[in-house]
């Protein structure tokens, strides 16, 4: 009888966890080993190296989705750094540095607690004089931003509301969900619609 009660309880716990995953606005694809936590993610060398490889592979996959053939990992040297901000968020920066020009790079940042990419930056633009180049229309830029938005691994995108702003040569699209807990921005070059950066703000309450 005790075994039956235990089995039923375990079933309902699993069901609740499954429902939580499906309705969470953030994909929880865990790319870190469970042992990589605040006290030991830099002290356990073996586990740290395992996580670094996972981070590089995951970042490679994400950058390939976003940039296609423009990003060729064989042209870059990957580098991973762990750090903490606000005494709360354990983060990892994965940089892909151009072999023949260290000033050109892609950067992907992950939050260790959520296993989510929260920041992506592209430092691979050549200096261009846009004086005689006409900027793309608002509709064209929105279409480009939505295309990148579709490629970002965030759940429940149907609930996100759209807005935008212009600053200098940049066009930034903002996406915010109904709960006001999750928002993200995607910044593009307003003359060609190319990706510059992405930032995710997810207001988690940590225990």
* Percent of the chain whose predicted confidence (pLDDT) is above 90: 29
| Better-predicted residue by pLDDT, 168 or 115 | 168
Among 38-42, 52-56, 102-106, name the one with the lowest average pLDDT: 38-42
Q: Write down the pLDDT at residue 116.
A: 73
Question: Hey, what are 180's tokens?
Answer: 């006001």
Mean pLDDT of the chain: 74
Give the count of beta carbons closer than 10 Å to the beta carbon of residue 156: 15
Residues 207, 161: Cα–Cα separation, whole Å: 29
Q: What mean pLDDT do residues 183-197 have?
A: 90
pLDDT at 13 over 80: no
The CATH code that applies to domain 125-207 is 3.10.450
- Is residue 179 within 8 A of residue 201, CB to CB? The reply is no
Model pTM? Answer: 0.70
Q: Write down the pLDDT at residue 195.
A: 92
Confidence of residue 160 (pLDDT cuts 50, 70, 90): confident
Residues 62, 111: Cα–Cα separation, whole Å: 15
Give the count of beta carbons closer than 10 Å to the beta carbon of residue 4: 8
Domain boundaries, the chain: 31-124, 125-207
| Better-predicted residue by pLDDT, 197 or 33 | 197
pLDDT digits (tens, 9 = 90+) for 161-180: 888 999 988 999 998 877 66
Q: Write down the pLDDT at residue 155.
A: 65
**Which stretches does DSSP call E strand in the chain?**
76-85, 89-98, 105-111, 116-123, 160-167, 170-177, 182-189, 195-202
Question: Hey, what are 162's tokens?
Answer: 């759209």
Between strands 195-202 and 182-189, the pairing is: antiparallel
Residues 188, 177: Cα–Cα separation, whole Å: 21
Nearest to 166 by CA among 140, 194, 138: 138
DSSP-assigned beta bridge partners for residue 33:
none
Confidence of residue 99 (pLDDT cuts 50, 70, 90): very high
Q: Write down the pLDDT at residue 11.
A: 52
Question: Hey, what are 71's tokens?
Answer: 């990003």
pLDDT at 105 over 50: yes
Q: What mean pLDDT do residues 110-137 have?
A: 77
Q: What mean pLDDT do residues 72-98 have?
A: 82
Provide the CA 155 distance to its chain's centre, in angstroms: 12
DSSP-assigned beta bridge partners for residue 110:
92, 117
């Amino acid at each position: 009888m005790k075994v039956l009660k235990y089995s039923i309880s375990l079933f309902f716990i699993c069901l609740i966890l499954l429902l939580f995953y499906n309705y969470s606005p953030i994909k929880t694809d865990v790319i870190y080993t469970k042992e990589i936590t605040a006290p030991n993610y830099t002290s356990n060398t073996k586990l740290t190296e395992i996580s670094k490889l996972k981070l590089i592979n995951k970042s490679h996959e994400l950058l390939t989705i976003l940039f296609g053939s423009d990003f060729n990992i064989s042209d870059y040297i990957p580098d991973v750094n762990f750090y903490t901000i606000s005494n709360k968020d354990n983060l990892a920066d994965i940089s892909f540095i151009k072999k023949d020009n260290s000033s050109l790079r892609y950067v992907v940042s992950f939050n260790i607690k959520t296993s989510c990419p929260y920041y992506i930056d592209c430092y691979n633009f050549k200096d261009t004089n846009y004086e005689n180049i006409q900027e793309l229309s608002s509709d064209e830029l929105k279409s480009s931003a939505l295309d990148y938005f579709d490629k970002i691994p965030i759940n429940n995108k149907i609930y996100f509301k759209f807005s935008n702003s212009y600053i200098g040569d940049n066009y930034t699209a903002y996406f915010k969900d109904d709960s006001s807990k999750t928002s993200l921005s995607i910044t593009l070059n307003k003359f060609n619609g190319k990706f510059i950066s992405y930032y995710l703000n997810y207001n988690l309450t940590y225990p």
